Structure 1
Amino acid sequence: MLPNTHRHSTWSTNYGCSRVEMLEKKVDQLTSQLAALTRQDGQTPPDTSTSNPLAHDLGSSCDPELDSTDIAGLLDAAKDPSHGLDPPTSSVLEGQPSIVDRGLLSEAEAERLVTTFQLDLVPKFPFVLIARGETAARLRDREPFLFLCIVAATIGSAHPLRKTVAEEIMEHVTSRVVARSERNLELLRGLLVHCAWYSYPAERYHPRLLLLIQFCVSTLYDLGLHRKPSPNSDEQRALLGTYWLSVGICGTLGRPIIMKHDSRTGECIESIAATEHLSDRWIAAFIHLQSFLATVDEVYASIEASSGRALIQVTRSSLQRQFDSVRACVERDLSSYPLSTESAMRTEIKYVEMRLEELSLREELWIAEPASAVRTTMLMGIIQRSKELIHTVRDLPVSEIVHMTITTSARICAAVGYMPTAVLTLLNLITGPTDSTTEAQVQAIVDAADYPNLVTELAKALETKFEGMSAADKETDIVGSLCSKMRLLARCYPYQIRAIIGTAPSQDARQDTSVMAVHANEVAMTPQVWPSIYGDLGDIFPVEDIQWDSILSNFTGFSSYS
């Protein structure tokens, strides 16, 4: 047993010495760091020779890897608790030849497009201004990305450079915003312009558009504009423009709304209205309407399926009172706005009016009283407001349609999708045993909507911006794709009506229900046809409910109703 005991004793002694040396080394390292820290603070370091004689005696055993250079690095890191390097302040694409330098766009054309932006596009989106007298040459030198986004917004969908410019914009976004985390006001202003007139490429559920808008929001917060004590006018416009776009598009596409209307928003509205620029006076109207729509979204999201008609009535009345106040504020100065600004405001107002009736489309809220008078009145309100919104856009001059914002496109989608949904819901509610009253009601609803004619006329008006484009190229544009789907809806709609009522009602009958009631039997016995623009009924697409819902989702998917 003695040999084993001896070996164990020797091992313990060696282990104990090794352990002591390790502890002494750590003490020495900590002492050195403490001395360095106290020197950094201007204090007198403690006398380590008396307080730690062991460390003094074994100073030569200090870890050589933890030298003074390493400690200096640790001290520098302690000063700044953030991780990694600062994002770059210069563009990785700086000095790259512009589309003008490469001969893709002439100097004269570039100047014309910049002027077009100032005169025709700012009234629709007054959140990005360029200085008076600014030339395209100076703009592309100082703010090349903003210049590129202005070109994309103004050249039009049919321009041969459209795809090239869009790809170059995404090169800036990918290289500068994503890969290098570059953040500056030029990038934010350019992104706002690009998003406001985004049209290419058309993608289901618009993932790229949503991503670009999220970049706007993150850039705004990264720049600290939401809390900057004294932002300049361009920064204030950028903050308000980001709010307007993000709340409008994210709310429309059913995504969470990050930005809120807070005290900073109000401060920027008040401050920007006092500038010398006339367009700054229009901003408040845009923001007030968008803020109210955000309130509508929040209220609607809080209503549960079991709420019942009484709560819906109270909610509807409360929102209407709030909107009456907002609309009075907006319309007070509306007549003094440029025609294009007034048209944009009118479209927004019609959209809000339509949204106020939206709860009538949610079947789960009306289980107890599916055909109540409150609901049917709201459904008819959707049909009428949708029709008015479509007429507002359809009657725009061609020059206005060419430069229509993405927000207006979203409002069109909602109207085109809400109207047939409301019509078919009403018909399902009132269709029962056939009698003269039912026939008259059905005919009145169909005539009030006049849906196939209405959306076909709208498609014709919007397609003026695609003259010279192939059908395939038109499908790559958001509005072009919507036009073809509107025509498809118009051709499928008659069969959806007939599936409910048995026959397709005449579109030519008068809307006076009393007259229709007198001639109800005659109407019921007469073979019914749809307008001549649809040709023979055999040419109209018969679709099942699932197919119809899929087609309709192209429009209700671009709205808050689903």
Structure 2
Amino acid sequence: MNTTISPVKRRACVACTVAKVKCTPQAVNRCQRCARLDRSCTYLDLPQTKRKHKAAPSRVEVLENKVDQLMSQLADLTRQNGQPSPDPSNSLTNDLGSSRVPEPDSTDIAALLDAAKDPSHGLDPPTSSALEGQPSIVDRGLLSAAEAERLVTTFKLDLVPKFPFVLIAPSETVAIIRDRQPFVFLCVVAAAMGSAHPLRKAVTEEIMKHVTSRVVARSERNLELLRGLLVHSAWYSYPAERYHPRLLLLIQLCVSILYDLGLHKKLRLNVDEQRALLGTYWLSIGVCGTLGWPFTMKYDMRTHGYIESIASTEHPSDRWIAPFIHLQSFLVTMDEVYDSMQASGGRALVQITRSSLQRQFDTVRARVENCFSVCPSSTANAIRTEIKYVEMRLEELSLREELWIEEPASAVRMTMLIRLIQQSKELIQTIRNLPVSEIAQMTITTSAHLCAAVGYIPTAVLTLLNLITGPTDLVMEAQVQAVVDVVEYPNLVTELANALDTKFEGMSAADKETDIVGSLCIKMRLLARCYPHQIRAIVGAAPSQGASQDPSMMAIHASEVAMTPQVWPSIYSDLGDIIPVDDIQWDSLLSSFTGFT
């Protein structure tokens, strides 16, 4: 008769343990498997097993005994050499003699709790300037107090309307700014003095001394540094460098400081902080977008809220911030749409995209143009330039060859190319007709937009000519010929370079080349001389200058054109002083303008 199974959990029998199978008890000292196989079933006595394991020394006990023996031997050797015995309380011997971790005292626990409140590590960045207390450029005699006063006044009256993101209050005198905001003072002076000022290089080097020692070497982060960098970047001109590494670095530092200060997530910003955040957005998007760099800031509801709130301050210039930001945010939207377009969409996709963006832009432009009646003329001119740039960029899809593979000479594309030429020319004329004082104070973003216009015109004209030099509609040929004639690109670009040259009166050619706009003027004149050769290579032979002025010869030439569409009417007949360049050199020269690189 089976007895009741003990409720105490038993170990597996010997047979099941060897077979590595489950052992299910059936009766006392008998499992189901052994009963089924009619085998003997043997269980080890658990108490005996436990006593057996307890009797055997553990690995820890063995190691402790070994350490005790070594410590005893070390003590004997020490006594033989006449040296004091090792202190049992020594940390080294304690570590050797015990595997236990010391219990933290109350001081250690408090430190751990404090560290848990802030998960970051390392030292806090310095709160004071590495150059604090050093004499300014006025104190050192580099700049007179009267000249400093004039430059700061120029910044307040003439430069703020073009970049209303860093404001100096009327109550802030030059002495106060020099004392409390030495870096802002330096950057304001550099922006206001212009390219031809003899101290421009010295002041720029002083600015970079602050940047390297404070921002880079010591990781200083404060609002004064951000505001100063915004001013310096907005009117950056020296030194001109290939691919603009320093300019991009300064703008990236602005973004970095803004995020380090937490201005992008603080619940409430004061007015200067709001201006700095919006200025960083406008400048980084404007320059990085033109250079083809990825955007690092986004337009969100917080940005929108700051635009609305800052417009209600007592300073009139704060009301001019919204138009700049609205136009810049639309450019971001447009670039994102362009980047997402698939080449397979072709003409239909271009038409739909272009129409949609045009409707959005019409709404933005109507809102922006409302400020013209209340803002200074210099502000209105800066905003008009931004509007012209957007209008020009709306036609940019006409230059993307992958979108027109099936219909390269589509009437839609031809119309967009003609509009691109017209809008680019209007942007150039807008800047060329500015007063000399305003040309000298153009922001770096305006210079970038101007470069794009200078590059788009010949790109669009040559694209048109390549599309219509074969058999095509004579009416379309006449339209394109008219556009080419009206553009007069060499004269247009040369006149623009002459207007920009007013910034560099009194400067040597070498010094002018170290300035961004100065070096661009040199390349503009090179474009003007190379452009006729590129046109001539497409349109073919042309009559001489004298023949083109003779009405009878013009009639003969017109009949020749009608019979041979591949030979275009002469655009440039006298090619004596042009510079022939191959296609690779021309493309490289052109890309330095469309991409501002």
Please give the TM-score of this superposition, normalised by the length of structure 1: 0.85
Q: Is the 8 A contact 2:234 2:283 kept in 1?
A: yes
When structure 1 is superposed on structure 2, of 305-314 and 351-360 the one drifting more is 305-314
Using the alignment, how far apart are the partners of 2:556 and 2:373 within structure 1? 45
1:343 aligns with 2:416: no
Q: Is the 8 A contact 1:384 1:448 kept in 2?
A: no
Change in 2 beyond 3 A, CA 1:311/1:518 = farther
Residues 270-281 of structure 1 aligned to structure 2 (within 5 Å): 270-281=308-319
Structure 2 counterpart of 1:460: 498
2:508 to 463, 470, 484: 470
2:120 to 72, 82, 92: 82
Using the alignment, how far apart are the partners of 1:411 and 1:15 within structure 2? 78
Change in 2 beyond 3 A, CA 1:131/1:508 = farther
> Cα distance, 1:267 vs. partner?
1.0
Q: Is the 8 A contact 2:64 2:97 kept in 1?
A: no
Structure 1 counterpart of 2:48: none
2:270 to 232, 248, 254: 232
Using the alignment, how far apart are the partners of 1:427 and 1:507 within structure 2? 22
Stretches of structure 2 that go unaligned for 5 or more consecutive residues are 1-56, 69-93, 549-553
Give 3-state SS (helix, strand or coil) of 2:196's partner.
Answer: coil
Q: Is the 8 A contact 2:418 2:480 kept in 1?
A: no
Larger Rg: 2
Using the alignment, how far apart are the partners of 2:472 and 2:117 within structure 1? 83
> Cα distance, 1:144 vs. partner?
0.3
1:27 to 84, 92, 100: 100
Change in 2 beyond 3 A, CA 1:153/1:505 = farther
> Cα distance, 1:137 vs. partner?
1.4
Structure 2 counterpart of 1:407: 445
Structure 1 counterpart of 2:65: 17
| Paired amino acid for 2:63 | Y
Q: Is the 8 A contact 1:447 1:507 kept in 2?
A: no
Using the alignment, how far apart are the partners of 1:94 and 1:505 within structure 2? 71
CA RMSD of aligned residues (A): 2.8
Q: Is the 8 A contact 1:244 1:290 kept in 2?
A: yes
Using the alignment, how far apart are the partners of 1:350 and 1:200 within structure 2? 27
Q: Is the 8 A contact 1:118 1:130 kept in 2?
A: yes
Residues 484-523 of structure 1 aligned to structure 2 (within 5 Å): 484-503=522-541, 520-521=558-559
1:370 aligns with 2:373: no
Using the alignment, how far apart are the partners of 2:542 and 2:221 within structure 1? 58
1:263 to 286, 301, 306: 301
Give 3-state SS (helix, strand or coil) of 1:320's partner.
Answer: helix
> Cα distance, 1:523 vs. partner?
7.6
Change in 2 beyond 3 A, CA 1:149/1:500 = same
1:219 to 238, 257, 260: 257
1:300 aligns with 2:338: yes
Residues 88-487 of structure 1 aligned to structure 2 (within 5 Å): 88-433=126-471, 440-487=478-525
Change in 2 beyond 3 A, CA 1:517/1:170 = farther
Change in 2 beyond 3 A, CA 1:418/1:517 = farther
Using the alignment, how far apart are the partners of 1:269 and 1:333 within structure 2? 14
Q: Is the 8 A contact 2:485 2:571 kept in 1?
A: no
When structure 1 is superposed on structure 2, of 113-122 and 426-435 the one drifting more is 426-435
| Paired amino acid for 1:234 | D
Change in 2 beyond 3 A, CA 1:506/1:278 = farther
| Paired amino acid for 2:279 | G
Q: Is the 8 A contact 2:468 2:477 kept in 1?
A: no
Using the alignment, how far apart are the partners of 2:568 and 2:424 within structure 1? 30
Change in 2 beyond 3 A, CA 1:505/1:113 = farther
Using the alignment, how far apart are the partners of 1:526 and 1:14 within structure 2? 103
Change in 2 beyond 3 A, CA 1:504/1:184 = farther
Using the alignment, how far apart are the partners of 1:382 and 1:376 within structure 2? 10
Q: Is the 8 A contact 2:258 2:277 kept in 1?
A: yes
Q: Is the 8 A contact 2:490 2:529 kept in 1?
A: yes
Q: Is the 8 A contact 1:251 1:257 kept in 2?
A: yes
Q: Is the 8 A contact 1:145 1:187 kept in 2?
A: yes
> Cα distance, 1:270 vs. partner?
0.7
Using the alignment, how far apart are the partners of 2:61 and 2:305 within structure 1? 75
Using the alignment, how far apart are the partners of 1:272 and 1:436 within structure 2? 56
Q: Is the 8 A contact 1:248 1:290 kept in 2?
A: yes
When structure 1 is superposed on structure 2, of 448-457 and 490-499 the one drifting more is 448-457
> Cα distance, 1:414 vs. partner?
0.5
Q: Is the 8 A contact 2:424 2:456 kept in 1?
A: yes
Please give the TM-score of this superposition, normalised by the length of structure 2: 0.80
Give 3-state SS (helix, strand or coil) of 1:182's partner.
Answer: coil
Change in 2 beyond 3 A, CA 1:77/1:99 = same
Using the alignment, how far apart are the partners of 1:13 and 1:378 within structure 2? 89
Using the alignment, how far apart are the partners of 1:507 and 1:523 within structure 2? 17
Give 3-state SS (helix, strand or coil) of 2:406's partner.
Answer: coil
Q: Is the 8 A contact 1:191 1:212 kept in 2?
A: yes
Using the alignment, how far apart are the partners of 2:585 and 2:458 within structure 1? 14
Give 3-state SS (helix, strand or coil) of 1:266's partner.
Answer: helix
Change in 2 beyond 3 A, CA 1:374/1:171 = same
Using the alignment, how far apart are the partners of 1:112 and 1:150 within structure 2? 11
> Cα distance, 1:254 vs. partner?
0.6
Deviations 1:51-73 (CA, angstroms, capped at 9, x unpaired): xxxxxxxxxxxxxxxxx7x6665
> Cα distance, 1:195 vs. partner?
0.6
| Paired amino acid for 2:413 | R
Instruction: Give structure 1 regions of 4+ aligned residues with deviation exceeding 4 angstroms.
Output: 11-14, 18-24, 70-76, 433-439, 504-510, 516-519, 522-529
Q: Is the 8 A contact 2:164 2:317 kept in 1?
A: yes
Give 3-state SS (helix, strand or coil) of 1:553's partner.
Answer: helix
Change in 2 beyond 3 A, CA 1:248/1:416 = same
Using the alignment, how far apart are the partners of 1:522 and 1:337 within structure 2? 55
Change in 2 beyond 3 A, CA 1:89/1:493 = same
Deviations 1:181-231 (CA, angstroms, capped at 9, x unpaired): 100000000000001100111112111111101110111111111121221
> Cα distance, 1:539 vs. partner?
1.7
Give 3-state SS (helix, strand or coil) of 1:258's partner.
Answer: coil
> Cα distance, 1:538 vs. partner?
2.5
Using the alignment, how far apart are the partners of 1:538 and 1:324 within structure 2? 46
Using the alignment, how far apart are the partners of 1:269 and 1:298 within structure 2? 22
Using the alignment, how far apart are the partners of 1:274 and 1:460 within structure 2? 41
Using the alignment, how far apart are the partners of 2:129 and 2:542 within structure 1? 62
Using the alignment, how far apart are the partners of 1:192 and 1:506 within structure 2? 54
Aligned length: 507
> Cα distance, 1:132 vs. partner?
0.9
Change in 2 beyond 3 A, CA 1:444/1:26 = same
| Paired amino acid for 2:306 | C
Q: Is the 8 A contact 1:431 1:438 kept in 2?
A: no
Change in 2 beyond 3 A, CA 1:430/1:523 = closer
| Paired amino acid for 1:339 | S
